[in-house]
Structure formats: structure tokens, C-alpha cells
Structure 1
């Protein structure tokens, strides 16, 4: 997994061929699920969602908001001659949502909402016990979510707090991350 850091939270950076081959290879299980889709655009869009959630820990609001080299690499693996067909994937809004739900189920991913209260308790403990700064606690929270195969929230901010502005959340560590 490529470390994105807080600056790259929820976004892809540039990807080298080595990184593509290392982190975005489709295995047999991926190909089995992708193969159930009809149409190249649907297979490629589904594949993008699989590798996105695996890499970023979340689904993107726009599943096509990825580097072109990633689209090309997945198309190459799937034998899709025209990667630009993926533009059709988002024509039907429900498709990306249905695919995200199926991927979540098939890969055993928990929703953020399902673990949010447990995470809030963990954050409270970290704030009181470790003396770590807000950035370290947030990075720990991301690792905590990944260890539990839980989806990350759409934003690393909660209750108006951001690790970038250095202010702690109100009430010690209280507040919650929006699930958007």
C-alpha cells in the first residue's frame, strides 16, 4: 500500500509503472467479480472501484477521479482496447453505488458508520493517554480503520477540526467524522 499521508488523503498521486504493477494488479477473485459485468465500461469502472477502495480505503464520489495511467493499466489487464469507454460508467448514478455496495460485501469491508463510535472511543483514549499530537492521532485512526477493514470517512475532518490547522477537536477529542 502506498502511503498517502494526510496531504494525499482520499486522492491518488502520480503512479509509476512499478507502483501500478505492485499495487493495482487484479487477482483471480477481482477478475471473477469484474467478469460478471456487462460491457467494457462497466467492467473497467468496477475494476476502478475495487482498486480505489483497496488503495485509498474509500470509494470516491466520482469513481473516474483517478490518474489516466491507472485507467490504462486496468484496461490493459482486462483486454479492453478503448479505455475511454469508462466515461460511460457514471452515466447511470445507481451503477457506481450498487457496485460499491457489492464490493463492500464481497471483500468484507465495514462501513465507517458501523465502527464510528468504537473509533471515537479509541481517539478519546489516545488523546488522554498518549499525549500525541492531532496529526499522529489521525494517522493512528486511519491505521485503526484499515486494520479493521473499515471504510475511511470521506474527509479526515470532524467537528470543524483539521489536523492541518493544529486545533484539537472540541471537548478533548469528541466530535465525529462525517460519513457524507
Structure 2
């Protein structure tokens, strides 16, 4: 008797690569890649007209240093708690030291800024500072400016910042400009 040889059934895999490729394209097109979010800061414009290096009076610079232990030191001498930082900044910025600011509510201290438009916040941190602590300090600086701007908007326009027109918002930002100097970290 003769053996009949049966052919094993085969699967046509010729289109399998096409299907895998189509699935790959489908997932690439339909997947969204979330954008990283960071701290929104407007970088200063390039200096178009000299003088580009302006000397700032030491009285108008508020120095903040976050050390490796995440302690906040202000003015190179006093260590304060994070909860005290916002009020300390508000007193410094809104000081009216030269008595030229008609909207300021400050105490006119000789050790604080002349007026809000000249106040500079200088932020420096140690290379080993915890990132979370650094961001919390940034948040307190932003909260101080937000409170000052909100108060100015209420007193001047009788409005909240969300309801201001573009021109009014520009005036509020000119009254209390956010001037932050971040000092480059020295790594050993």
C-alpha cells in the first residue's frame, strides 16, 4: 500500500508584517504625549540700547539663599521659616523708602526697597538643595507678588485681577514688576 503523504496546513503570514506595521502607526497617531510643565517665567529681553549693565542699589536687592539643609536665609544673616517669607517679601517690595510711591503701603524703612519698580529679589541655592524646597520658595515669591498686585487692582480699579482689561493689567504689572534674579549655582 502506498503511503499518501499529507501536506501540513500552512498559515499565510505574508500580510502579518503589514498588520503589525498598521497597528504601530495607529498607536503612534492616537497616543498623546504630555508636554512637560515647568515654572512660567518671562525671560528678560536682550539689551538693545546701552547701558546694559545697570548698577542696583544694595537697598533694593532682597537676597534669599536656600542652603543644603533646605533652610531659608535672607539678607545673608537671618534664617526664617517658609511661612514667613511671603510677608517679609511684601514688606520689602512695598516699602516706599524714597517716598515717591503714592500707592505703596510700606513702612519706609531705610533697609528695604525704594519702591516696587526698583525691588529685585535675588534667589540663590546650594547645589544640594532639595528641588521641592526650591520650588516652594519660588511659589512664596509668586504669592507675594500676586497679593501685592491683587491689592493694587482692588484699590485702583475696584476689580479682581481676573476681570482687568489688558491695559489695566499692564498698569498693575508696571506698578509691581516681577523682578527675580536667580544666581547660578556653584558646583564643587
TM bin (shorter chain): under 0.3
Scaled by the length of structure 1, the TM-score of the pair is: 0.27
Scaled by the length of structure 2, the TM-score of the pair is: 0.26
Q: If each structure's strand is expressed as a fraction of its own residues, which one has the higher value?
A: 2
Give the greater-gyration-radius structure (CA). Answer: 2
Q: If each structure's helix is expressed as a fraction of its own residues, which one has the higher value?
A: 1
